[in-house]
Structure 1
C-alpha cells in the first residue's frame, strides 16, 4: 500500500515517516504520511491532531450517521475522506464528505487500494484536479495545512460551482459554518427562499 502513490504525488510540506512494517490500515497511512501535504495542498493526510479535530467536525455536520466517522485525509476543498464502516468489513470502502454541497458520497473502492489505484489511475473524480489547477492559476501560493478553499455561498444554497465563488478559509471555521447551514436547511424544500442567516 502507498508504493505507487508515493511516486506520483509529491510531498510539498511535512516529513514522511518510515514504518518498519507494511500495512493496509489507517495506522500505517498515518505513520507513513501523517501531517503531509501533497501537490501544494491538493491532498493531505491527517496528523493525529487534525484527525481529532476533523472527527468532531464531521460528526457535527453529519449526525445522521450511526457509527464513528474516521477521517483519514482531506483535499483542497476541505472535503473529508472517511472510512465507511457500515459494512463491518476489515477493509472498508470510503465516504467523501463535502461541506460545500452538504453531501456524503460513496467511493466504491477499498481503503487498502484507494491510494495506489483510484488516486493514481484517475484522481479527477476524488480531487477535482482540473478545478484545483484553475484555482492555482490565480492563487499560486500553496495551501497551509489548516486551510482549504471554500465556497462563499455553498452549493446547497444555490452558490455557483466556479472559482469566483471560492475563497481561502480556515478549515475548522469553514466546516463549522457549513455544518450550521446544512443542519438548518436540510429539511427545507428545494427553492425555499431564506431571508436571514444567524450564526450562534
Structure 2
C-alpha cells in the first residue's frame, strides 16, 4: 500500500516517507502529513489542517456533513476526502471537492487503492497535471502548503478554465469565498447573477 505512489511521486524536502502498514487516513497522515509531492502538484494534510479543511468543505457542501474526512489536496485547492456514505465502513471511497466548479465528484475507488491506482494511473484526470505544467511554464509559482492556485472568477460563475484566470491564493480564504458563492447560487435559475458576497466571519480557519 502506497508503494506505487511513493515510487512515482517525489516528496519535497529530505524527510523520508515510509509507507504505513495500514491503509487508513490516520496512518497516512502520520506517515506523510504536511508533505508536498511533485513540486506542489499534490499535498497531504496534517491532522490539524485536515480538521480545518473538513470544516471548510462541510460549510461549502452541507449535504456531506458528517460523512467526510479530508486527507489531501491538489495545487488547485481541490480537496480529497473519504466519504462514509460510499464504500465500506473500514475502507470508504473518495470524493473530490472542487471549489472552482462548485462540484463534488465521486471517485469509485476505496481509500486503500486511491494513491496507488487513481493518482498513479489517472494522475492527469485526478490532479490536472498538464494544466499545472502549463501554469508553471507561464511563470506561475508553485503554491505553498497554505496556498492554492485558484480561479479569479470561478467556473460556475462564468470564469474561463485558462491559466489567465488563475492566481495564487490563500487556501482557507479561497475556500471560504468559493464556498459562500456556491451556497448563494444553489437553487438560482440559470443565468441569474450575483452582485456580491458577504463573508461569514465565523468560518473556520487553518
Alignment of 1:161-176 (within 5 A): 161-176=161-176
Instruction: Report if aligned partners of 1:153, 1:159 keep a CA contact under 8 Å in 2.
Output: yes
Name stretches of at least 5 consecutive residues in structure 1 with no aligned partner.
none
Q: Please give the per-residue CA displacement for 1:149-173, whole angstroms capped at 9, x wherever unaligned.
A: 0000101111101111110000000
Partner of 1:151: 151
Change (3 A) 1:141 1:166: closer
Q: Distance in 1 between matches of 2:14 and 2:126?
A: 22
Partner of 1:33: 32
| Divergent runs of 4+, >6 A | none
Partner of 1:177: 177
1:88 deviation in Å?
A: 6.1
1:68 deviation in Å?
A: 3.4
For the aligned residues, what is the CA RMSD? 1.6
Name stretches of at least 5 consecutive residues in structure 2 with no aligned partner.
200-206
Q: Please give the per-residue CA displacement for 1:18-59, whole angstroms capped at 9, x wherever unaligned.
A: 47x611111121121111000111000101121121011001
1:143 deviation in Å?
A: 1.7
Partner of 2:191: 191
Number of corresponding residues: 198
TM-score by length of 2: 0.91
Q: Distance in 1 between matches of 2:159 and 2:45?
A: 28
Q: Distance in 1 between matches of 2:141 and 2:17?
A: 25
Alignment of 1:59-78 (within 5 A): 59-78=58-77
Q: Please give the per-residue CA displacement for 1:95-141, whole angstroms capped at 9, x wherever unaligned.
A: 00000011100111111011111111121111001111000112353
Instruction: Report if aligned partners of 1:146, 1:171 keep a CA contact under 8 Å in 2.
Output: yes
Residue 54 (str. 1) matches residue 53 (str. 2): yes
Partner of 1:138: 138
Change (3 A) 1:153 1:189: same
Moved more, 117-126 or 98-107: 117-126
Partner of 2:21: 22
1:17 deviation in Å?
A: 4.7
Q: Distance in 2 between matches of 1:145 and 1:12?
A: 11
Q: Distance in 2 between matches of 1:169 and 1:191?
A: 27
Instruction: Report if aligned partners of 1:16, 1:34 keep a CA contact under 8 Å in 2.
Output: no
